[in-house]
């Protein structure tokens, strides 16, 4: 019973994080601002989901596989965000480094 309640609370928090992040992606002005709201969905929500799975199911093979998938997300998220921001800046300015933009 306590496990169920704890897992449900963690899942509710994860859904709340994703909901807030989705509103941020919809409402923010440009891609740089929107990208800040991808991070909660790609970092915090997977951790909460993994904790909920661990609390509900305990340690066994399928739980490990789920946690592995969520771990990949947590590792890949920041790299992907960095690469995206860099690509958008290169598209806009011609170079990602400040002061190195080609003259137009």
Residue from 1, 2, 37, 59 touching another protein (CB under 8 A): that is 37
- Residue of 1, 25, 97, 101 interacting with another protein (CB under 8 A): 25
Helices (H), 28-60: 31-36, 38-39, 45-57
Which residues, in sequence order, are CB contacts of 34 under 8 Å at separation 6+?
24, 25, 28
Q: Which of 36, 42, 35 is nearest to 74 (CA)?
A: 42
**Residues engaged in binding another protein (CB under 8 A):** 4, 7-8, 11-12, 14-15, 18-19, 21-23, 25-26, 30-31, 34-35, 37-38, 41-42, 45-46, 49, 52-53, 56-57, 62, 65-66, 68-70, 72-73, 76-77, 79-81, 83-84, 86-88, 90-91
């Amino acid at each position: 019973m306590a496990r169920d309640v704890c897992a449900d609370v963690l899942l509710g928090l994860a859904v709340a994080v994703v909901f807030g992040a989705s509103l941020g992606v919809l409402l923010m002005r440009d891609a740089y601002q929107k990208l800040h709201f991808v991070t909660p969905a790609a970092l915090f929500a997977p951790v909460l989901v993994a904790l909920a799975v661990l609390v509900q199911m305990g340690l066994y093979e399928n739980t490990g596989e789920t946690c592995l998938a969520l771990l990949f997300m947590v590792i890949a998220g920041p790299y992907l965000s960095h690469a995206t921001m860099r690509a958008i800046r290169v598209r806009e300015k011609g170079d990602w480094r400040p002061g190195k933009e080609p003259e137009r």
